[in-house]
Amino acid sequence: MKNRIYIKDLSSHIDEEVTIACFVDVRRDQGKLVFFDFRDMTGKVQGVILPGSKDAHEVATPVRTEWVLEVFGKVNKRPERNVQAEKQNGDIELEILGIKILNEAVTTPFDVSSDGREIGEENRMKYRFLDLRRDRMQKNIRMRHAVIKHVRDYLSNEGFIEVETPILTKSTPEGARDFVVPSRVAQGKFYALPQSPQQYKQLLMVAGVEKYFQVARCMRDEDTRGDRQPEFTQLDMELSFAEENDVMALNEALLIEIVQKLYPEKKIQEIPFPRISYKDSMEKYGTDRPDIRTDKTDPNLLAFCWVVDFPFFEKTDEGNWTFTHNPFSAPKPEFIENILEKNDIGNILATQYDIALNGFEIGGGSIRNHKPEALKKVLEILGHSEENINENFGHMLSAFSYGAPPHGGIAWGLDRLLMLLQGEDSIREVIAFPKTGEGRDLMMDAPSVIEDKQLRELGINFKVQK
């Protein structure tokens, strides 16, 4: 829009005539004076139609909240007694000289000027495009952008590159159920959506990338909770020639910088972040994501800690061995012989490091098993047959036989971190278009049935089993 001035910049245009483009936030009629609060992405300003402005009065008569306008007016300094110092633009006012209605709005199903906590979540989800208009949600999505941008800049400066990895892929053994996508071309076969880019990022290390990161979407078909969504975002990274301390130090420094630069009102309880062994954490806190805050009433206190020395394997209910975190992890160096000899399996510790914040796991990673023979042994311990290993992990073993650098990495649950930084109690509040607790998108109405034609093309003929 030509000559548009953003609301945040109005105070540098005092006594000038300007044009803004905005939503109507509030309308207040006070007899001869009509007041509005106008809102654009940069903030709010009060507008007033003075009794003399007949034309403006006429156009403004039908205008209601959430209408979309172009407003032409003069920026006036407010008289001293009307100044609201604590408010953005509290010392100015836009004297409305003309209004162009860009679009009308029917009455919204709920108030978008409150913080929204009083509104049923189903309703908020169904009209998410309106729900996102509220200040709290605008802050959440804009701070999310700021954090992600900070991460991208920081890691780029450290020599990392962001590489996208496929969404249509093959099942990865992250321990959760896969979402699957039927193939039309290869009928009867399925892609799996990635639970994480784990294998691809390791293959990028074999490819010589050395420092990889990605703001990566991950899909896990698990029951949704306040801090879980069927699709969520990881800050995923992997580094070659790195040891545990390298990955931990880099991530710690990045987290500290995010808090100090973007959340200066928050206080980190302890730097460097304390490190707690899995065993101590379980004994002392009864969990592997301990809440070590010394004052749990303080919303600005961030108590980060690392949890290390996790057991590599645990027994399933059926009595078989399964991995606790990641089948691609390396054991701690002193346990490599145990892996190769499959000896004292229950006591083998992994190079796994998790990071917890105020009682939530916000990330985890490990140094990987880059030697094909050791990885093969782990897969054998996990009960995979020779045939199964070749079929599912053959590409990894093959890749590692061509000179794989030692490597390790980590992934953050970005939604959870943002939830905590923004002081929210659900990750749904920091995701623009989240799913409900039942994994539904109420606005788009997904999941939904698809047309018979689509099913025929996919060669799918099914009966829903009750």
Number of H helices, E strands in the chain: 12, 19
Query: In degrees to the nearest 10, what's the CA dihedral of 2, 6, 11, 17?
Result: 30
- DSSP-assigned beta bridge partners for residue 26: 37
Binding-site ranges for ligand ASP (CB under 6 A) = 174, 196, 198, 326, 364-366, 409-411
**Shorter beta-carbon distance to ligand ASP: residue 331 or 364:** 364
What tokens were used for 20?
Answer: 């803004």
Q: Give the shortest CB-202-to-ligand ASP separation in angstroms.
A: 9
The radius of gyration of the chain's CA atoms, rounded to the nearest angstrom, is 28
Q: Supply the minimum distance, in Å, between the C-beta of residue 194 and ligand ASP.
A: 9
Tokens of 227: 């801090």
Residue 258: CB minimum distance to ligand ASP, A:
19
- By C-beta, is 45 or 239 nearer to ligand ASP? 239
The residue (of 290 and 365) whose beta carbon lies closer to ligand ASP is: 365
Q: In what order do the strands lie in the sheet with 211-219?
A: 161-162, 211-219, 231-240, 407-413, 360-367, 353-357, 304-308, 275-277
When the beta carbons of 230 and 365 are compared against ligand ASP, the nearer one is 365
Residues 235, 215 contacting (CB under 8 angstroms): yes
- The C-alpha atoms of residue 352 and residue 329 are separated, in whole angstroms, by 7
Distance from C-alpha of 6 to C-alpha of 21, rounded to nearest angstrom: 8
Least distance (Å) between residue 440 CB and ligand ASP: 24
* Cβ nearer to ligand ASP, comparing 198 with 281: 198
Structure tokens at 267: 């206080």
Q: Which single residue brings its beta carbon nearest to ligand ASP?
A: 196
Q: Give the shortest CB-447-to-ligand ASP separation in angstroms.
A: 24
- Minimum Å gap between C-beta 15 and ligand ASP is 57
Q: Which is nearer to ligand ASP, 116 or 364 (CB)?
A: 364
DSSP state of 220: -
